[in-house]
Structure 1
């Protein structure tokens, strides 16, 4: 029991010591000590008003009434800080040795005004009063980093229920942080400071924590090592590097998952940018080496950017501009899915060009306002690009964006088994317009037409040139406004769903549908487009025993066809002669109807021409020449008789001893 008695004695002794200290602590002296120490460290007056009361629990110290901290001399916004109450905690170990050391300061419901003057001065740049000039022969002390704060230490600083009002006299920017809960620890003068902060900015809750390696230097605006993480809703940002505030500068590694930017932009009091789907509408992530340079330029190196599932390696520079920022970037991606880029963002919205039904284009509005958010020049290299209606393979392109007008210069692009080169322009300066000047070489038509128009009836390979211009705020409006020109030159292939040779041979329009096809060796055509209507007058199709020409129109907006083929069966080498039966193709291009042009058919003697052509073919094979009015049968008999007479004459000649 002896050790219990000793322990109880020690405890009672400590309690007695605390009670004595409490009685002996001069409350006004503690408040005065805090005010003097603060002013000596910062050069700002700390005013304590109201009653000063002693405090025992949870630590020894005093509580005061309202307090204020003076603002910078150039500010007219009132005190830099005013609080309902101040708690000052003393270091009890130091107190028992006769020393006075403040270990804790807690502010109740403070209002903190942070501001930057139009000249760039910051009111939080605290410095002690200038020292008196040194006497003759005495050295003038060099100012230390962080001013008087380099001599300031605090085990714990607390803000409860606070508010921070930020004003920037240069840019006009402002912010208001409420419900502020903060805790900071600066145990060594000029050493590292740990802090945790939570509150609401512009109605959005946030929480942050970090470590500043040189707390006093950081408060004076100097660049110091810093680690910081911030969370607000779906937005999470982590930074590990160096940061300074006068002027704003940073360099280090950043790792940010920003969600759809709604929480982050609301936190800083800015509207959420209306980004296209596929380019950050739903999810934005950034990681890499980040630099914020003097002048407000932002640089990203070794960057990895995620935009709605698209992953890109990025080297980028963003500079402020008078009207809008400018971006210079190199982007690399394995695969880019931009199939929803023109979507409205509404639930269920698909590709901008997707038809609301198989018979029509989409009427959903295409929102291209994001093109006006910045100017840019971007070099892009991608393994593949899905544009919704069109899919590209390995692609290299330069994309320029100037005042809402985007130009994609395709330097190299694999497309549908061939290559694509040219330029695509999207102009959103006044409404929305689309232009293209493209050359496709060696492309496969079947997958291209299936993607572009849901049409898979032409299977061949060849070259296409195309110039297009259209305007409108929906896919339907664009399709109905198209104008331009182009040409096609295809090699061997087949036209599915239509047997032209069978139609001509049997005079039966039923040679259509599944399993029917026209095989050809060559197909060429040129066309013009006006008001969404494509017209062609010079189609030529060459096939074994068949040659066809064609003319007609395709209503691109209405997705219908009205076309007339003129096939010739068994034509001569120059394409003339043979049997000709016109074929009409009409109706929706996804499911057209085929019929023979009976009116034209009646006007030509098909049977006589076919018989004549067959007789000519047979005579050529028999080696006979038809005489005037002579039938093929008579000519064949005559040819046989002449051959027999010739053979008999040669035999008689040999018998008589002739040569």
Structure 2
């Protein structure tokens, strides 16, 4: 505002100087004299085209055609200010009393170009050194610093273009701006209103500076600002200086955050439900000339979720955010619901019968910002997933998000590790997690729709999936993992009854421990080393789980350790079909094979024993299983030879 007051004064002072002596001068001569006066005061060129028209009483005024006001020598070649026409009027009677009461300043189609470089602003006006040093008899020089009061009744810019350039980079370029301002008295507040067309409607800014002289001098002054845009509004009550640095209370309320973002050039960006489609954010804000915003004592109501904490934002493209947030219970269960304006959800969510969703995943939100956000919460409810008390850190870097769990409470256990979503060159998701004391039934039910398995487990899991839909990601999964479960239950079949040991436990199998490891390739999990320990049995498992197709084909082989004279008796069980409702039954082919092998062995042993008995009868000696027939014959011959030798020698 300081630059604006100076410019206005220069115009008005020039009018006052020449009005008496130049009443009959032609317009081009008046324009030349005014330009010379402005040049001497500011060092900038003022160009007036189309002549100058004057009025005298009660308003001392000037109207011109096209006008331009030069830029700073170090700035760009474009003028700082240009307009198709300019009209300035002052109160003549007040001017005679030594006061400068500006009745009007009206500009049509003006272009205002503000530039900042190395801490210098092109709005900072000063006379050339030579002019400042000049003294003497020039008593008719314009009084650059009037002793009386300066006031402004009406400033009006119609269809203006506002351009702001910082260190050679255009930060914003707003067109079709209508601006009005008034400052009716030296102790009155300066009030400004601006209106600008944007997608979806208009942005309106109401600004009030209660102490304009203090602000114009470069000191910190109070400021009140209200911005209204399609979808929401922003309010600020605090302090400001000429550099634009601010400190005070900030309040942001949105009725439709996506609509408000579109109004400021961020069209097409979706806001997840629960993270601020409707928002009410307040706190103590500090803004520095380097483009940094700090928000302390922040309270953010984002839809139905409430957060507190502090946030630092570095204004850039994209912005960089550093935040420390706390919350109670966070509900993101409808995270993917479409906004009401879009007619509801897509209806393509996955279900146990329909398979994984084939709806495209919109991961554009990963590019909205960079930074690091730490959140501690009592609970977090996601679609089909619920976390208990958790300490999470989200790191955003160029469309890549890393969620660190330090730890997170998941499935009644503790999870440490990280999950990554990368949308730089197509979407991929991966992670490396360690879990302790997790409820296996909750995990399998949530992740795979399997309800039959209960227990508490510990394990590790590393995975990677690529694709633009949930279905593509699940079918591309790769990774490794292991699981160690303590006591638990498998419902759906009774191992005791299956193995012929009484009535069993009513359709369930109780086990003491379970261990397994697995690999995943192209969405298919393979396990070959499952080992389950029970009171009277052990069970081994091998098979595949097709995660992409949501099917299972697994052979589960329990062995009764005390059966068959301690040799063990096995009855394999095959689990096959959709994992939401697989078929679980004994594998009769394996049983028959095992039985057939046993019968052949018995027949072979029986035939062999009969041969040995017959040979023994013929030889008059017993032939055992461990003694060959050849050895038996040799022993018999030696015995008969000894008997014949004794007879020859006269022995008994």
Shorter-chain TM range is 0.7 to 0.9
Matches for 1:310-329 after TM superposition, within 5 Å: 310-319=305-314, 324-329=318-323
Match of 1:560 among 526, 551, 557: 551
Contact residue 444 and residue 462 of structure 1 kept, 8 A: yes
Contact residue 478 and residue 521 of structure 2 kept, 8 A: yes
Q: Deviations over 1:576-621 (max 9, x none)?
A: 6454322221110101112322222233459x99xxxxxxxxxxxx
Structure 1 pair 365/281, CA: closer, same or farther in 2 (3 Å)? farther
2:185 equivalent to 1:187: yes
Write the distance in 1 (CA, Å) between the matches of 2:498 and 2:169: 77
For these two proteins, the number of residue pairs brought into alignment is 558
2:620 equivalent to 1:598: no
**Residue aligned with 1:572, SS:** coil
What is residue 467 of structure 1 aligned with on the other side? 462
1:393 CA drift (Å): 0.8
Structure 1 pair 319/110, CA: closer, same or farther in 2 (3 Å)? closer
What is residue 173 of structure 1 aligned with on the other side? 171
2:235 equivalent to 1:234: no
Contact residue 275 and residue 305 of structure 2 kept, 8 A: no
RMSD of the alignment, in Å?
4.4
Shifted more, 215-224 versus 474-483: the winner is 215-224
Matches for 1:27-426 after TM superposition, within 5 Å: 49=51, 51-52=53-54, 64=63, 66=65, 68=67, 70-74=69-73, 76-78=77-79, 80-82=81-83, 84=85, 86=87, 88=89, 90=91, 102-107=101-106, 109-116=108-115, 121-127=120-126, 132-133=132-133, 148=145, 153-159=150-156, 161-168=158-165, 170-178=168-176, 180-188=178-186, 192-200=189-197, 204-216=201-213, 218=215, 223-246=220-243, 248-258=244-254, 260-262=256-258, 264-268=260-264, 270-272=265-267, 274=269, 277-278=272-273, 280=275, 282-319=277-314, 324-339=318-333, 348-349=344-345, 354-355=349-350, 358-426=353-421
What is residue 525 of structure 2 aligned with on the other side? 534
TM-score, normalised via structure 1 length: 0.72
Q: Which runs of 5+ in 1 are unaligned?
A: 1-24, 137-146, 610-659
What is residue 13 of structure 1 aligned with on the other side? none
Q: Deviations over 1:454-497 (max 9, x none)?
A: 22221222223222222222211221122222222223332222
Write the distance in 1 (CA, Å) between the matches of 2:69 and 2:494: 94
**Residue aligned with 2:465, SS:** strand
Structure 1 pair 41/259, CA: closer, same or farther in 2 (3 Å)? farther
Write the distance in 2 (CA, Å) between the matches of 1:495 and 1:184: 80
1:452 CA drift (Å): 1.7
Q: Deviations over 1:114-168 (max 9, x none)?
A: 32165664343345677744989xxxxxxxxxx9599762241131634133141
**Residue aligned with 1:379, SS:** strand
1:566 CA drift (Å): 1.9
1:555 CA drift (Å): 0.6
1:53 CA drift (Å): 5.3
Contact residue 125 and residue 219 of structure 1 kept, 8 A: no
Structure 1 pair 111/226, CA: closer, same or farther in 2 (3 Å)? same
1:548 CA drift (Å): 2.8
Structure 1 pair 205/576, CA: closer, same or farther in 2 (3 Å)? farther
1:266 CA drift (Å): 4.9
Write the distance in 1 (CA, Å) between the matches of 2:565 and 2:540: 10
Q: Deviations over 1:407-429 (max 9, x none)?
A: 22322222222211122222233
Write the distance in 2 (CA, Å) between the matches of 1:181 and 1:195: 7
Q: Deviations over 1:94-127 (max 9, x none)?
A: 59x9777535214153514232165664343345
Write the distance in 1 (CA, Å) between the matches of 2:406 and 2:356: 30
Write the distance in 2 (CA, Å) between the matches of 1:98 and 1:297: 46
Contact residue 438 and residue 458 of structure 2 kept, 8 A: yes
TM-score, normalised via structure 2 length: 0.73
1:551 CA drift (Å): 1.8
Q: Deviations over 1:386-435 (max 9, x none)?
A: 33243211111333333333322322222222211122222233222222
What is residue 585 of structure 1 aligned with on the other side? 575
1:87 CA drift (Å): 6.0
Contact residue 68 and residue 79 of structure 1 kept, 8 A: no
